[in-house]
Amino acid sequence: MHFLSTAATLLALTSLGNALSSSLQQVTGFNSGPTAAGMYIYVPTNKVSPAPIILAIHYCTGTANAYFSSTLYAQYADTYGYIVIYPNSPSPGGCWDVSSTASLTHNGGGDSETIINMVQYAVEHYGGDSSRVFATGSSSGAMMTNVLAGAYPNVIKAGSVYSGVPDGCFYVAGATAGMQTPAWNSQCADGQLIETAQQWGDLTRSYYPGYTGSRPKMLIWHGTIDTTLYYENLAQTLLQWSNVLGISFTKNNTNTPQSGYTQMVYGDGTELIGYSALNVGHTVPVHETVDLAWFGITGSGGTTTSVPSSSPTSTALPTSSTAGGTIPKWGQW
């Protein structure tokens, strides 16, 4: 608990008064690999059948338990009956492998395939719905969300990406699956890897050659003053998904879903939306209710989604200054 920020600690304390129906469990029976990522799961007592599955993927130095504690996906699972899988990174730095060819490629191995195998396990053992699988995560978990959406569009139906980089942006030539420490790519992190929409789209398509099925609908969140994964990564990620989804920018809606955020709508707003968070750094608060609507678990999932200003979902994640001991080089966050 000591590594959580004050805000996250307060949130955890607050949620004590709002007891969960169930608890986070490690799934010891899961050993499919191919990497040693741990599988943790939250199954609410009122699980619906079959139950939608949300993959909630932690940041660097994070853990399954930290992401469980610092977000409200489990609390909302009690209301809506879905399952949450919290994968736990096998790397010493707690980062995900989002840079090896193996992890980037469909059925290529790596942490991405391990996470997809967790989905399969949840379908077989926990009554999960294979047709309603969603991914979300922060920082390194955001990168992994993009990787999963790119390599496994047949599994992932929608994603919500908090402060990440484009799919394939962290590719590091020579990186191999199972490497001890996922490789860092400063050019990408600093927002200096600039490509065209076509180039980014081609990259994503190359990870699953020949695939012609549907692609995930994506929400992309980023803070304008992020100095870990620079703001340019929002624009580059939106270029990528707009190309993959075959849609283009339509309009901006200011102060949506809350003051200071700009909602960047692509197409008709049902497949791709960016959220630019003014003067927010690397820790963009997780907006669980917006995500749930986007996933189709609640509401319309379209551009009308809004968060009441009286109850901001300001779930805070540890910032690099409070987390302690993070080596910036590996701090994908």
Ligand X SMILES: *[C@@H]1O[C@H](CO)[C@@H](O)[C@H](O)[C@H]1NC(C)=O
User: Residue 63 or 224: which CB sits closer to ligand X?
Assistant: 224
What binding mask, one character per residue, do residues 101-140 give for ligand X by CB under 6 A, x or -? Answer: ----------------------------------------
User: What is the H or E stretch that residue 281 is in?
Assistant: none
Catalytic residue among 69, 70, 138, 139: 139
Per CB under 6 A, 252 contacts ligand X: yes
Strands 83-88 and 51-57: parallel
User: Residue 195 or 202: which CB sits closer to ligand X?
Assistant: 195
CB of 166 to ligand X, least distance (A): 17
What binding mask, one character per residue, do residues 276-315 give for ligand X by CB under 6 A, x or -? Answer: x---------------------------------------
User: Residue 146 or 276: which CB sits closer to ligand X?
Assistant: 276
User: Residue 120 or 253: which CB sits closer to ligand X?
Assistant: 253
Per CB under 6 A, 45 contacts ligand X: no
User: Residue 126 or 249: which CB sits closer to ligand X?
Assistant: 249
The upper half-sphere exposure of residue 296, i.e. CA atoms within 13 Å in the direction of its Cβ, equals: 16
Residues 166, 68: Cα–Cα separation, whole Å: 25
Phi, psi (5° rounding) for residue 9? -65, -45
Per CB under 6 A, 63 contacts ligand X: no
Per CB under 6 A, 250 contacts ligand X: no
Per CB under 6 A, 262 contacts ligand X: yes
Output 9-13 pairs: Cβ under 8 A, ≥24 positions apart: 11/69, 11/70, 11/315, 11/316, 12/69, 12/70
The tokens for 201 are 């789209």
Per CB under 6 A, 227 contacts ligand X: no
Contact in structure between 315 and 67 (CB atoms under 8 Å)? no
The tokens for 122 are 């949840």
Residues 6+ apart with CB under 8 A from 157: 131, 132, 133, 134, 214, 216, 217, 295
CB of 202 to ligand X, least distance (A): 24
CB of 286 to ligand X, least distance (A): 20
The closest of 137, 163, 160, 167 to 62, measured between CA atoms, is 137
Contact in structure between 9 and 56 (CB atoms under 8 Å)? no
CB of 264 to ligand X, least distance (A): 5
CB of 236 to ligand X, least distance (A): 13
Is 22 catalytic? The answer is no
Q: Is 53 left (phi over 0), alpha (psi -120 to 50) or beta?
A: beta
User: Residue 14 or 279: which CB sits closer to ligand X?
Assistant: 279
# of chain residues touching ligand X (CB under 6 A) = 4
Q: Where are the beta strands (DSSP E) in 121-216?
A: 128-138, 158-162
CB of 277 to ligand X, least distance (A): 9
Per CB under 6 A, 264 contacts ligand X: yes
Contact in structure between 119 and 144 (CB atoms under 8 Å)? no
- What residues line the site for ligand X (CB under 6 A)? 252, 262, 264, 276
Residue positions annotated with a catalytic role: 139
